Every structure is written in C-alpha cells, then in structure tokens.
Amino acid sequence: MAEPIISVDHVSFSYDEGGPMAVRDVSLTVERGSFHAILGQNGSGKSTLAKLINGLYLPTEGHVTVCGMDTQDDEKTWEIRRRAGMVFQNPDNQLVATVVREDVAFGLENIGVPTEEMPARIDKALKDVGMLKFADRAPHLLSGGQKQRVAIAGVLAMAPEAIIFDESTAMLDPQGRREVMQAVKRLNQEQGITVLWITHFMEEAVECDFAHVMYQGQIVLDGTPREIFSDVERIRPYRLDAPPMARLAEQLRAQGMPLKDGILTVEEMAEEVARLCK
Ligand code: ADP
Ligand code: MG
C-alpha cells in the first residue's frame, strides 16, 4: 500500500504541562487524494488536531507524519506547512495585502519562489478557485465566500499536496459556503489534492469520503458519512446533529411516510419522494 499522506499515531497533546489533554490518544491515516471530514462539538479538539497535523503544535505523546516527515523534525517544519497548507475560519485574518494578486504572492515570497515564476503560479491558483477576474481588486471589497477563495488560492499557489480547512465556511452565508465547498471539491476531484475538512455543518460532512467524530479530545467514531449517520442514536451522545435531510426523513417517517433508510442529501430525498409519488 502507498504511504499515507497524513499519519497520526497515538497522539496526545496538552496545552499546559500536566494539564488536561486537548487531544487524547488519537490515531488516523489519510490516503493521498481522499476527502476526510472531522466532526465534533465545540471544544472537542478539532482545531488542536489540525494544528498538530500541520506542525504548529508538537505532540506531547505520539507522532504525526506528513508525506513521511515527522513534525518533530525541526528541519522539516516549513516543508510540512507548505505540503499541508491550512485555511482558517476567518478570511479577514488571512488576507494581508491590498490587492488580491499580492495576497496570493505573499506566501510565494516567503518560500523563495523566483519572481519571474510568480505571475503564472498566482494566475493559476486564482483561476482554480474561480477568482482570476478579481486579481486586481481590493480583498476587503469582496464577499466572504470570495475572500475565503482568495485565501485558498494563497495556499494553492504553494503547490500543497493536502489542505486542512478548519471551519473555513463557519463565518460565511449559505451562498459563500456553497461556493467554497464547490471550489474545494473541484480541487480534490480534478487535481487530487487531499482534503481534511473540519466542520460542524452536517450537510457538508455528508459530501466527504470518510469522517472522524471527535468528542472530548478523542476520536470516537470513524466511517463513511453513510455509516456514521445511519444510526441517529449512535451519534447523539457526541452532541452531533444528524444531517438536515436525515432529520427531515425521520420526521416524515414519523408522520407515516414510508421513506427508505439512509437518506442524507437533498438529491436522495428528492429521488425518494418522487418514487413514493409515482
Ligand atoms: P474545537 O476546535 O473542536 O472547538 P479546540 O481544539 O479548539 O476544539 O479545543 C480543545 C480543548 O483545548 C478545549 O478544551 C479548549 O478549551 C482547549 N484549548 C484550545 N486552545 C487552547 C489554548 N490556546 N490554550 C489552552 N487551552 C486551549
Ligand atoms: Mg476549532
């Protein structure tokens, strides 16, 4: 089997020596090209885990490897952050320049990309997220979804193999959330970029190949979204909502509509309702 792109091996982490563990004995592997979600209520350890993966924090116990490099190896820190880029919640905190193009250039300057190579890399990254036509605009005049796509372009320009999104749609309106999700799905499907998608929106979780549920610093469930959400009772202790369509299906069944099991998406609901109405 090929080496996984991200491997977290029995990792624990505490913010204060001797203090409580924010992440407890977590193990997970992410294969190249896959799209994983990390779910869990506030304070369950998702952001801490994300920062452990990208080398912003080092494990108190255990090991994290990214593309075969251990995050504890000081010499690899920058290479790890370039190969596994991160996009955060608030796009305003990630955009630094006064022109979109310069914002995307910022990271490239930091890693020493030759000046003559920059325009092509910047244009490609902006094009990949559908923002090329805004290259000469001021970032602060863009919508939330557009700003977040510029932030993604900034990471993309560094040619990462994986991108970790830490609740990157949490501050966006529904339109912005859809824009960002669609752009990220395209990067995954067309360019094979590995995605780790942290979210508390269950309608986003159903779009992933594989999901991990965190609760009190631990991973308590792993599986496909279908496996995880097939039994609402099983996720209830971890304070996760079922995806909106699964909840609607449950309510309709309670009203006597004989809907099949396992409805997670709008498309599946539409199909099933159409079938019953025939
Ligand atoms: P999530 O992203 O799932 O909301 P976090 O990883 O941010 O969870 O937090 C996990 C735990 O670590 C929580 O108990 C939180 O209070 C604690 N924590 C997070 N950041 C810090 C910090 N900088 N210093 C101390 N404790 C922290
Ligand atoms: Mg968080």
pLDDT in tens, 140-161: 999 999 999 999 999 999 999 9
Output the average pLDDT for the chain: 94
Mean pLDDT of 20-37: 97
The residue whose CA has the least distance to atom 25 of ligand 1 is 15
Structure tokens at 45: 């350890």
Confidence at residue 230, expressed as pLDDT on a 0 to 100 scale:
79
Predicted local confidence at residue 112, as pLDDT: 87
Gap from CA of 43 to ligand 2 centroid (Å): 7
| Cβ atoms 38, 196 nearer than 8 A | yes
DSSP string across 202-248: HHHHTTSSEEEEEETTEEEEEE-HHHHHT-HHHHGGGTPPPPHHHHH
Phi first, then psi, for residue 224 (nearest 5°) are -70, 160
**CA quadruple 242, 248, 252, 255: dihedral sign:** positive
How far, in Å, CA of 193 to CA of 258, rounded?
40
Ligand 1 atom closest to Cα of residue 41: 3
pLDDT at 1 over 70: no
* Predicted model pTM: 0.93
Nearest-atom number in ligand 1 for the CA of 23 is 10
**What residue owns the CA closest to ligand 1's atom 1?**
43
* Stretch 81-108: mean pLDDT: 93
Angstrom distances, CA of residue 276 to CA of 2, 124, 138: 45, 46, 51
Write out pLDDT tens, residues 170-206.
999 999 999 999 999 999 999 999 999 999 888 899 9
Q: Determine the Cα–Cα distance for residues 253 and 22; give it in Å rounded to an integer.
A: 39
Q: Where do we find the tokens 């279908």?
A: 226
Ligand 2 centroid to Cα of residue 206, in Å, is 19
Q: Which atom of ligand 1 is nearest to the CA of 167?
A: 2
Give the model's pLDDT for residue 2: 73
Query: Between 201 and 70, where is the model more confident?
Result: 70
State the pLDDT at residue 157.
96
Q: What is the pLDDT of residues 214-268, one digit of tens each?
A: 999 999 999 999 899 877 788 889 988 888 898 899 899 999 999 998 888 899 9
Ligand 1 pocket check for 34: Cβ under 6 Å: no
How large is the average pLDDT for residues 81-109? 93
Ligand 1 proximity of 225 Cβ (cutoff 6 Å):
no
The residue whose CA is least distant from atom 17 of ligand 1 is 22
d(CA 59, CA 57): 7
Q: Is the CB of 194 under 6 A from ligand 1?
A: no
Residue located nearest, by CA, to atom 16 of ligand 1 = 43
pLDDT at position 55? 94
pLDDT(119) > 80: yes
pLDDT at 3: 84
The pLDDT value recorded for residue 234 is 85
What is the percent of the chain where pLDDT is above 90?
83
How many angstroms does the Cα of residue 257 sit away from the middle of ligand 2? Answer: 38
